[in-house]
Amino acid sequence: MSWHEHISDFIAAMEAEGIKATEPIAARLSSGELIRFHCEGDGKSRRNGWAILYLDERPNGAYGNYRLGLSRKWNSAGHRALTTAERDAMQREWAQAKEKRRLEREVAEREAARDAIEMWEAAGTASPDHGYVAAKSLDHYALRQLGDKLLVPMYDADGVLRNLQRISPDGTKRFLRGGRCDGLFCPIGNFTRRGERACIGEGYATMAAVNRATDHPCIVAFSAKNLPAVARIWWDARPDLDFVIVGDDDSHLDRNLGRDAAEAAAREIGARLWIPMREAA
């Protein structure tokens, strides 16, 4: 069985579980890296499908769909050892695909960063009547608005604007397509005193609420996954600050992703941890 057939088998197994990609994924699967893709039934611009496939001597992989809450492992039943020529060809193809994707990602990130700067400069101060600003009682002067989209700037460790989070009046949030997210953050408030307390958390509205209540300067990491990276950047830059990692309580999920990420970040930089608690009934 050739490795092309293994990929076909893998995709067939996914489809049998109801995970049907609406875009070509075979070439990306051969990279051996985790891929995300849009599936039948996913909302527009959502990429809930994920898969990873290792095409070694015993091809195996895993796939799933976040919307369906599905996660499956797969291995080839009729595997055989690859010939040396096949393995070399496969590795060459992987290496080329990987390099191509890296270049594509860099181009996409550069373009997104350019778009972010243009959009940020073209945007005006956010309206206090914007649905999200009003709903979350945000300080509209700190944000900008372009059309009906609220813009939240995303900076890198050098303070360069790299991406934007666009928030619709109904609260739907989108980053610029292809833009970088890892290690980007948005500061809220003034970092003026050495040793002062500073809070790092996931969402803009969450951290704006903390800043409003406490006057502590805050840092928005935009996602649970990005919390540790942002915490590291700030710890490196301002080790004098008394950091508190503010986690989201995702106890409604099978795994409390918000708490786990916050705890990991707090442990990593030796920060305090706070998870908001519901009022006892």
Partner 1 sequence: MTRMAYDADDMAREQGDEAIRRALSAAAFVDDDRAPFDEDADPSVKLTPTSFVWRDERTIPPRAWLYGKHLLRKFLSVDVAAGGIGKSSVKVVEALAMTTGRRLLHRDVPEGPLRVWLYNLEDPNEETERRLHAALNHYGLSPMDVGDRLYVDSGRDQPIMIADETPTGARIVRPTSDALIAALHDRQIDVLILDPFVSAHAVSENDNRAIDMVAKEFGRIAELCNCSINLVHHVRKANGTEATADSARGASSLIGAARSVVVYNRMTKEEGESAGIAPEQIGFHFRTANDKANLSPPEAAEWHRMNNYELANGDQVGVACPWSWPDAFAGVTTRKLMEVQKEVGAGEYRLDNRSSNWVGNIIATVLGMDPDDDKRRLGNIVKQWIKNDVLRVVEQEDKQRVSRKFVVVGNWVTE
Cα gap 132→71, rounded to integer Å = 34
Q: In this structure, what token pair is assigned to residue 56? A: 């070694």
Q: Give the phi and the psi of residue 185 in degrees, each rounded to 5.
A: -155, 170
User: Nearest distance from residue 182's CB to partner 1, in Å?
Assistant: 22
- Please check whether residue 55 is in contact with residue 6, taking contact to mean a CB–CB distance below 8 angstroms: yes
Q: What gap in Å lies between CA 242 and CA 231, rounded to an integer?
A: 12
**What is the Cα–Cα distance from 175 to 185, expressed in whole angstroms?**
12
Specify the 3-state DSSP secondary structure of 278.
Answer: coil
> Token match 């700067």: residue?
117
The nearest distance, CB 205 to partner 1, in angstroms, is 5
Min dist CB 104 to partner 1, Å, is 33
Q: How far is the CB of 156 from partner 1 (least distance, A)?
A: 25
Task: Give the residue with the Cβ less far from partner 1, 120 or 274.
Answer: 274
Q: Check residue 30 and report its DSSP letter.
A: T
Least distance CB 61 / partner 1 (angstroms)? 30
Interaction site with partner 1 (CB under 8 A): 136, 197, 199, 201-203, 205-210, 212-214, 216, 244, 246, 248-253, 258, 263, 266-267, 270-274, 276-279
What span, in angstroms and rounded, lies between the C-alpha atoms of 189 and 201? 14
Q: Cα 111 to chain center, whole Å?
A: 18
Minimum distance from residue 160 beta carbon to partner 1 (Å): 28
3-class secondary-structure state, position 69: coil
Give whichever of 218 and 233 is closer to partner 1, judged by the CB atom: 218
Residue closer to partner 1, measured from CB, 91 or 251 = 251
Residue nearer to partner 1 on the CB measure, 121 or 279: 279
Q: Which two tokens stand for residue 161?
A: 């604007």
Residue closer to partner 1 (CB basis): 39 or 266: 266
Measured from the CB atom, the residue of 12 and 213 that comes closer to partner 1 is 213
State the minimum distance, in angstroms, from the CB of residue 200 to partner 1: 12
Nearer to partner 1, 123 or 246 (CB): 246
Q: How far apart are CA 169 and CA 130, in angstroms?
A: 6
Pick the closer one to partner 1 by CB: 117 or 205.
Answer: 205
Distances in Å between the Cα of 173 and the Cα atoms of 98, 150, 274 are 29, 9, 24
Tell me the β-bridge partners of 50: 36, 64
CB of 38 to partner 1, least distance (A): 24
